[in-house]
Chain A
Amino acid sequence: MTTKENPPASAAQEAPASGDPSKAVLKRSRRDVLRSGGMLSMSSLMGTAALMAQPGEAKAAVEWAEHFQKNYRLMTPEEKAEARLRLEKRYSGEYNKKVSVDITEAQPGVLMGYALNIRKCIGCRRCVKACVEENNQSRGARPGERIEWIQVLRMERGEFTADKMNQGYPEGLGIQVGGNAYSPAGQVLEGQYQYTPEAVPEKDANYMPIACMQCEKPPCVKVCPVRTTYREADGPVVIDYNWCIGCKMCMGACPYWARRFNLTTPVLPKEDMNPVTHYLGNRPRMRGVVEKCHWCLQRTRHGRYPACVEVCPVGARKFGNLLDPESEVSKILARKNVFRLKAELNTFPKFFYFYD
């Protein structure tokens, strides 16, 4: 996607000592810890103290330090590096594996865009599964414990049929307000994105995958009272999970039902946890916060495709840099028939549907 040759996320945390900016600021930060004042210095101190303790025992202390950290966007590079180290230590202890928390920033000249070929989708929902695994979503048995960011909506194919022609005509002086020959199409009922067919695609169904549209004018960002959700410079709308107060206003504002609430502590088995994470992306979430699709920042900021794009067996999903005229999405926007969902709401999604 990007022209920059970046190592995959797993290697990013062990980048060479020279030339890697995050490593450089980290050293400075340790010297500065004792000098900074107020509540933040306390949090930094506790963070440092926690880093020196055993991972298992440090959990409480680290969480305490997390309580007092700033909004991610307002952190200095040093504070970001500290927060990252703190989390890496804690997650590694919690999940018994080496967990990396990437803090790579948006790269200049990149505006991520997504395109989906609505005609190709067969409704297999491999994207949903891949997303859950890649992004450490909760996968418990209770209804509130199961979180999926992508829905593949299954829509019945409606039709106009000759044998219904004469049904439902009003008798006597009745008023006719509708036709008679159709059966309704395109309706989604409860659970119709959790269908279990014998084989896909089904003969009488259309499929409409949706997820976060990463709007250019996101209503969710506008309503957030603490500015914990915001649009990143390279396009995706992200959440600082440590700053979210769980007021759920963003969920009410989203016209695409793309946000999920962690009703309880997410159920994430140790062995299934994906250790390659990003601070604003797929790092394990906590109870009581909102989460959503972020186009796999842990992958896409290092030149890889999102998991759903990679896994799609029919190649319906395309991803790339909207500012690069040679990228796949730019070419699709230029040449195909493209539409966006709920365009009348002026949210300007960067998620485009197309057909050829």
Chain B
Amino acid sequence: MLTRFVFDYARYVLKGGTKFYAWMGTLALLIVGMLYVFYLQNTEGLIVTGMTSQIHDGLYLANLVFLVGVAAGAVTIVFPAYVYHHEGMHKVTVLGEMLAISAVIMVMVFVFAHMGRPDRLWHMVPPWGIYSFSSMLGWDVLVLNGYLILNFVVGFWYLYSKYTGKPVNAKIFMPLVYISIVWALSIHTVTAFLIAVNPARPMWFHSMMPIRFITTAFAAGPALIIIAFLIIRNNTKMWIEDSAIKLLTTIVIWCLGLAIFLTLSEIVIELYARTEHANSLYYLMFGLHGLTALVPWFWSSVVLMVGAFALFMTPKFRNDMKLLPIPCAMAFVGIWIEKGMGLIVPGFIPSPIGEVTEYYPTFVEWMMTLGIWAFGFFILTILLKGAIGILLGEVRFGGAAAANPAAAVH
């Protein structure tokens, strides 16, 4: 039965129109590009990136941190669905889980790209390697893998039960759902700890980091989900109810507002006294010693986030499903910049000895980043398409309905 499930799932995913194949083909091209630069990195070394001994975490770690947030953001669907029994949300919970799975996979690939020696990654895996309990990176790997497994199990168990028509065993299923809800918080908190526990980098060394991470995650994640939902609504037979999208919009507004507030608090506290420890933030906002590479990034992020917030507050944008993707995309991009060029990179500038070095990502890094995002969307499309097929009843055990999809709707 399980093999039939996999077979039917794959067969459904492979069928698609020109639009579908064009989309997947484009992504595949980018993935090939990624493989090429990954090959370059592993023959030449990380010298082909813009990273140096001063700024040794660049675009890769930035995307990693951001995507952990997107993965955690999936909980904004799971939580209302299972805890508040939100009707519209409950029908599409599994789509959020699929998003979490693809985001975590992207995080893993970014880890690979970031490592100097990816061939030695097994050194972290006992019993062949050593697992260090004192290392935040160790914990991060643990919670991320745990989250991946949890979402995979919860998501596919649900789909499988839909497929076979037999209900899930709620006694085991529901606890797993609740664990995955709390676990979602843990992944982004541990990622925040990963960078916040370094007193050597004063910009990161404050306890506001985890909450700022969670608020931005719960703004960026649902923003992406809203866009995905609207695309699904317009391109498939699957109808996602307005109530679900409205609730997600509310979550985005609240969390985006909180994120802006926390950023503002940090700026006031750091810059009022303007100690040496504020140099990184000052560099980010205005530049230091005439070097200003990150200044446009910071202000574009501010404009995007505040602008998105203002648009969200306007009922015209909030309620119009045609205009809603605009503030969502603005919030998503704004937070991506804030987590990347606005947080990871300035943490290294100035260096602990006061050296101001600038960082410019190279073509290799951009290509890799683009490729990994394409890879993530590739997986996401496959997961979502199959999941939608099952939710619609087009993929069902026995295959009778699959032969006649039109009859299966409603």
List the interface of chain A (C-beta within 8 A of B). 39, 67, 71, 74, 142-145, 147, 151, 153, 187-193, 210, 219, 222-228, 243-249, 251-257, 259-265, 287-290, 345
Contact = CB atoms under 8 A, between A and B. Distances in A.
Nearest to A254: B200
A260 B46 CA distance: 13
Given A249-B135, A260-B53, A254 B352 contact: yes
Nearest to A263: B47
B129 interface: yes
Given A222-B134, A288-B46, A248 B352 contact: no
B117 interface: yes
Contacts of A247: 114-116, 137
A151 B353 CA distance: 10
A199 to B, nearest CB: 24
A327 B51 CA distance: 42
Interface centre among B116, B199, B357 (most CB of A within 10 A): B116
B114 to A, nearest CB: 7
Contacts of A251: 53, 56
Interface string B128-142: 111110111110010
Interface in B121-156: 121, 123-124, 128-132, 134-138, 141
Contact of A262 (B116, B195, B353): B116
A224 B135 contact: yes
B122 to A, nearest CB: 9
B149 to A, nearest CB: 19
A147 B53 CA distance: 9
A256 B56 contact: no
B123 A226 contact: yes
B116 A39 contact: no
B357 to A, nearest CB: 6
A40 B128 CA distance: 10
A254 B234 CA distance: 51
A178 B133 CA distance: 47
A67 B123 CA distance: 10
A243 B352 contact: no
Nearest to A188: B354
B119 interface: yes
Contacts of A71: 123, 129-130
Contacts, number: 149
B57 interface: yes
A273 B347 CA distance: 36
Nearest to A259: B53
Contacts of A255: 199-200, 352
A187 B195 CA distance: 26
Interface residues of B, number: 48
19 contacts: A67-B120, A144-B47, A144-B53, A189-B354, A190-B291, A190-B355, A193-B355, A210-B353, A223-B134, A225-B132, A227-B130, A244-B117, A245-B121, A252-B348, A263-B45, A263-B52, A263-B53, A287-B45, A288-B115
Nearest to B45: A264
Given A227-B130, A245-B121, A256 B352 contact: yes
B355 A225 contact: no
Interface centre among A142, A192, A224, A247 (most CB of B within 10 A): A247
A230 to B, nearest CB: 11
B119 A287 contact: no
Contacts of B123: 71, 226, 228, 243, 245
Interface in B236-255: none
Given A191-B355, A224-B132, A226-B130, 8 more contacts: A193-B355, A225-B138, A243-B123, A245-B118, A245-B120, A246-B120, A263-B45, A263-B53
A142 B44 CA distance: 13
Given A39-B128, A226-B124, A247-B114, A262 B45 contact: yes
A288 B119 CA distance: 10
B158 to A, nearest CB: 33
A211 to B, nearest CB: 11
A189 B138 CA distance: 34
A245 B115 contact: yes
Contacts of A188: 353-355
Given A151-B353, A246-B115, A345 B199 contact: yes
A151 B141 CA distance: 34
B120 A244 contact: yes
Contacts of B289: 189
Contacts of B119: 67
A245 B46 contact: no
Contacts of A147: 53
Given A255-B352, A261-B53, A248 B132 contact: no
Interface in B338-387: 347-348, 351-357
A261 B137 CA distance: 18
A293 to B, nearest CB: 14
B207 interface: no
Contacts of A225: 124, 131-132, 135, 137-138, 141
B188 interface: no
A253 B131 CA distance: 19
A179 to B, nearest CB: 15
Interface centre among A39, A219, A263 (most CB of B within 10 A): A263
B55 to A, nearest CB: 10
Contact of B135 (A223, A254, A265): A223
Interface string B157-172: 0000000000000000
A142 B49 CA distance: 13
B198 A253 contact: yes
B318 interface: no
B344 to A, nearest CB: 10
B201 interface: yes
A289 B114 CA distance: 12
Contacts of A256: 352-353
B132 A227 contact: yes
A254 B200 CA distance: 6
Contacts of B128: 39
A137 to B, nearest CB: 12
Nearest to B134: A222
B369 to A, nearest CB: 18
